[in-house]
Each structure stands twice: as C-alpha cells, then as structure tokens.
Amino acid sequence: MELEEAILAGKVLVYPTDTIYGIGCDATNVKSVERIREIKRRDIKPFSVIAPSFDWIEDNFIVDFNIKEFLPGAYTLLLKKKEIHFLKHVSENDRVGVRIPNHDFCFSIQKVGVPFVTTSVNLSGEPFAKSISDIKKEILDLVDEFFDAGELNGNPSTLIIDGKEIKR
C-alpha cells in the first residue's frame, strides 16, 4: 500500500523522524488516534501532530513568533488553538504540539495534506526507539505498517512554548 493511501485509509504507522521513531496516523481519524492510545497504553495525555503546511499551522493556531526559525527541525511547538474543539481527540486542552520534522519520510507524510499524529513508538514511560529493533514486538504486531530508515540520533525534539525553548 502506498503511503498516501495508507494514511487516508486510517492505518497506524511506525516511521522515522529527524529524532526518534514515531507512531502515527491521520490526526483527523478519531478511531486511529484511539488505536494509538491503546497500543501505547496511554491515557488522555495530548499527542503532537506533523503539520501538513505552514499555512495549515497559521489557519488553526495563534502564531505570534517566527515558526520558521524552528521548523522544519527537531522541535515541537506548543501552539494555542484558534478553536478550542479543534483536534480535541488529539489534545483536550487549548494547545497542540506541532512538528515539521526535518526528514524526507516526514516530508512525504506532509504531502498527503492532513495533520498526522506524531508520538514516540514506545509504551508510555519506556525508552525511545532509535531503531526498529528497539521497538517491542508487541507494538510492531499491532501497527499496520512500519518503515525502517536505520538508526536515528535518538534525541527527542526540543519543546518550544511562546517562542522560547523549554528544557525537559
């Protein structure tokens, strides 16, 4: 199945980013987002999304700093929603983490034109995956497809709130 077709069909994918391996799906597909919560054994803690474009970010979020200083790159921008119910199943609060990873595979995800959940492909509280072999078999058995790009750098993205870097 081609990437665009898989995303639009609601498939849950494991994929490389510019930092670590992620698990994701079309963020507008409520059932697929819930599947990721079940796979990760994660409660209602918010997910981040890969934005399809800079225009999409500006259409849906309050942006009061130069986001192009950080994106594309290894950053997650915590942005305030313009409409509180927007992507409520992804983030119940008034903000969403927004990424544009600097990675060819993620640029292909963007071309599909929908926001895409991006979260680390590990069980909640466990170490990040730098390679496919770091991912538990039980997770790989539950996803629809995975894409192997070898070993990644293994550092999670840097959080940016109100244009300022936050140490985690």
pLDDT in tens, 92-151: 999 999 999 999 999 999 999 999 999 999 988 899 999 999 999 999 999 999 999 999
Percent of the chain with pLDDT over 70: 99
CATH-assigned architecture of domain 3-166? Alpha-Beta Complex (3.90)
Model confidence at 165, pLDDT cuts 50, 70, 90, reads very high
Q: Rounded distance, CA 26 to CA 102, Å?
A: 19
Quote the pLDDT of residue 168: 65
| Half-sphere exposure for 63 (CA within 13 Å, toward CB) | 16
Sign of CA dihedral 6, 10, 11, 14: positive
Q: Judge whether residue 67 has pLDDT over 70.
A: yes
Residues 6 or more apart whose Cβ sits within 8 Å of residue 51: 57, 71, 98, 99, 100, 110, 115
Is the distance from CB of 139 to CB of 23 less than 8 angstroms?
yes
Q: Rounded distance, CA 40 to CA 124, Å?
A: 6
**What's the mean pLDDT when you consider all of the chain?**
95
